A and B are shown apart, each in its own frame.
Chain A
Amino acid sequence: MIREVAKVVSNNECTSDVYELKLLVPGIAKDAKVGQFVNVYCKNQVNLLPRPISISEINGDELVLLCRAVGVGTNEFRDLKENDEIVIMGPVGHGFTICNEQRIALVGGGIGIAPLVELAKLLPKESTSVYLGIGKKEEVGFIKEELFRKECMGVKVATMDGTYGTKGTVMDILGDEIFDMIYACGPLPMLKALKKYVDKNNIKAEFSLEERMGCGGLGTCLSCVCKIKVGDSEKWEYKKVCSYGPVVDAKEVLFDE
């Protein structure tokens, strides 16, 4: 993990609130692995804490981030222009483990699609299907459907309002299909539903989690914990999302009701 000044290669608007940031960061990109994240820091030290953002793609010396503007920091980064500089630290955490199962699903909800893009490139095309859930048609602008179609067998999309693909959530398009392995990232309600699904059907799965961070992955502040089961018992312990995760084994993780 290093702190590095990144140079903005491009910053493209995908939808009204989602943008794709391409950064030249050779030091971090060199070590980056699928499913890891980086911390992006605000220019103004009024906002001190790191903004954790998943690595969406790794292209040589460049990293691609897919960001949704939701607050101070992500709105500041939206205004970055070509050749601007920005401080980032990374790569952070444990990412996805590549498997060679026959029936693999990538399940992404909203901006949680981000880390699945690089993953789609690494998994065998003929074994991998993609299930994406978004709010409305406009959001098709950031889901990289074409890229997923190129890298995977099939892509299904669900929209909450039914304006594109199937109406409903990503759970609705998963239907009764059986998989050997599921990789997922998305909002908590989606992960909770998926957890029930994989537990019930005894499917292996990896989830990428989100939690508020202080130190941004150094593992020193203990802000970012999630509940992880201890062995096969009912017991659990707090583990750090930033260093134990952000990708965890779905069987191990416990969500509060």
Chain B
Amino acid sequence: MSRLEVSLAGVKLRNPVMPASGTFGSGYEMSEVMNIHRLGAVVTKGVSMEPWLGNPTPRVAETTSGMLNSIGLQNSGIEELIKIDIKSLQEYRQKGGVVIVNLAGHTIQEYIQVAERLNSESIDMMELNISCPNVKEGGAAFGTDPSVAEKVVREVKKVCTKPLIVKLTPNVTDIVSIAKAVEAGGADVISLINTLMGARIDIEKRQFVLAKKYGGLSGPAIKPVALRMVHQVAQNVKVPIIGLGGIITAEDAIEFIMAGATAVAVGTATFNNVNALENIIDGINTWCENHNIGNIMEIKGVV
């Protein structure tokens, strides 16, 4: 096994570094500026059954060491994703890359439909984004109530033939109870964290900067919260974890692995520097070399 190789629910990744969903398009857009073949996995933007229009603009706002977004999961629907995005990732996949498709839904039924549609496609894993609002049940995110979270995972797991990653929202009082619930529901892997709800106000205009008022905070500003949650969850579940939230350097990524993550994802950092993912992979490799580490998993959960 090479130094950076890791395994997530039986799926081998050549290194533990992947983009965070929604910050990397579907990968092919990035080929112009970087070598995507170096990535352990590619995670596509959230996809729903039918196209979603997304929110009005402004959809992003910069914050101190971070950003807010309220894109509203704009996407062209599952058929477009299969026709264009998944197809364009096949060369990457044939050369040993792992393709992960991120799923969005407004109802449990919608998640199920998307998962069923994807079963026969050339992808490796699915990632369930349970931060979406549960439209039929008042609009709170699926991932904010342990029993709802468990139910949606259980239902999707019944139809899904690929290993299922469940991505948690940090906007909860007790992340551990949610993590345990999705593990009980059958999650093969847990990823965390999604964005933290926040806001910014333009004091001259006396109005919120984002058209939707509130948005999801990401970037280095959230890293300490993410790291704490990854550690708490790692202490309480057996399934492997993908840690993310504010990673911009190799050192950040190593912190997450030491906290108990098997792999890491990088989102906002790529907006600042298109080379961020590659720099992180190189940096982890060098760090391991300098510390005589044969495989990166030797430091997993060491704190």
**Which residues of A does B touch, CB under 8 Å?**
1-3, 41, 45-50, 87, 89, 211-216, 218-226, 237-238, 256
Contact pick for B275, options A3, A47, A50, A219, CB 8 Å: A3
Given contacts A49-B67, A215-B270, A222-B71, whether A3 and B60 have CB atoms under 8 Å apart is no
- Bound: A212/B33 CA distance, A: 21
Contact B272 A45 (CB under 8 A): yes
Q: Indicate the member of B45, B61, B67, B275 with the most A CB atoms within 10 Å.
A: B67
Q: Does B62 contact A (CB under 8 A)?
A: yes
Q: Does B290 contact A (CB under 8 A)?
A: no
Give every chain B residue within 8 A of A213 (Cβ-Cβ): 60
Stretch at the interface among B19-27, B102-110, B230-238, B258-266: B19-27
**Chain A, interface SS category:** loop
Contact A48 B67 (CB under 8 A): yes
Name the interface size band of chain B: 35 or more
- Bound: A3/B23 CA distance, A: 18
Contact B59 A212 (CB under 8 A): yes
- Bound: A94/B185 CA distance, A: 48
Q: List 22 A-B contacts (CB under 8 A).
A: A1-B32, A3-B275, A41-B272, A45-B272, A47-B62, A48-B65, A48-B220, A48-B269, A49-B271, A49-B272, A212-B57, A214-B23, A214-B59, A215-B23, A215-B270, A216-B271, A218-B25, A218-B30, A222-B71, A224-B59, A226-B57, A237-B53
Contact A222 B65 (CB under 8 A): no
Q: Does B29 contact A (CB under 8 A)?
A: yes
The smallest beta-carbon distance between B84 and chain A, in angstroms, is 13
Contact B23 A45 (CB under 8 A): no
- Complex: chain A residue closest to B66, CB-CB: A48
Contact pick for B59, options A2, A3, A50, A225, CB 8 Å: A225
Given contacts A49-B62, A212-B60, A220-B23, whether A3 and B271 have CB atoms under 8 Å apart is no
Contact pick for B74, options A46, A89, A216, A238, CB 8 Å: A238
Given contacts A212-B57, A212-B59, A238-B53, whether A219 and B29 have CB atoms under 8 Å apart is yes
- Complex: chain A residue closest to B249, CB-CB: A45
CB-CB nearest 4 A-B residue pairs: A220-B25, A223-B60, A48-B272, A212-B58
- Bound: A226/B154 CA distance, A: 39
Give every chain B residue within 8 A of A87 (Cβ-Cβ): 273
Number of A-B contacts (CB under 8 A): 98
The smallest beta-carbon distance between A69 and chain B, in angstroms, is 15
- Bound: A89/B270 CA distance, A: 12
Within 8 A of A (CB), among B207-231: 219-220
Within 8 A of A (CB), among B53-98: 53-54, 56-62, 64-67, 69, 71, 74
Q: Does B159 contact A (CB under 8 A)?
A: no
- Complex: chain B residue closest to A256, CB-CB: B56
Q: Taking A47-B62, A218-B32 as given, write out 17 further A-B residue pairs in contact, using a Cβ cutoff of 8 Å, ordered by the A residue number.
A: A3-B33, A3-B274, A3-B275, A46-B64, A49-B271, A49-B272, A212-B60, A212-B61, A213-B60, A214-B60, A220-B25, A221-B69, A222-B71, A223-B58, A223-B71, A225-B57, A238-B74
Contact mask for chain B residues 3-25; partner A; CB cutoff 8 A; 1 contact, 0 none: 00000000000000000001111
Q: Does B250 contact A (CB under 8 A)?
A: no
Contact A214 B67 (CB under 8 A): yes
Contact A89 B274 (CB under 8 A): yes
- Bound: A219/B220 CA distance, A: 22
- Bound: A58/B67 CA distance, A: 32
- Complex: chain A residue closest to B209, CB-CB: A212
Q: Indicate the member of A211, A225, A226 with the most B CB atoms within 10 Å.
A: A225
Given contacts A45-B65, A218-B29, A219-B29, whether A225 and B74 have CB atoms under 8 Å apart is yes
The smallest beta-carbon distance between A243 and chain B, in angstroms, is 9
Given contacts A48-B272, A214-B271, A215-B271, whether A221 and B60 have CB atoms under 8 Å apart is yes
Q: Indicate the member of A48, A87, A89 with the most B CB atoms within 10 Å.
A: A48
Contact B57 A211 (CB under 8 A): yes
Q: Indicate the member of B74, B219, B271, B275 with the most A CB atoms within 10 Å.
A: B271
Give every chain B residue within 8 A of A47 (Cβ-Cβ): 62
Give every chain A residue within 8 A of B22 (Cβ-Cβ): 221
Give every chain B residue within 8 A of A218 (Cβ-Cβ): 25, 29-30, 32-33, 274
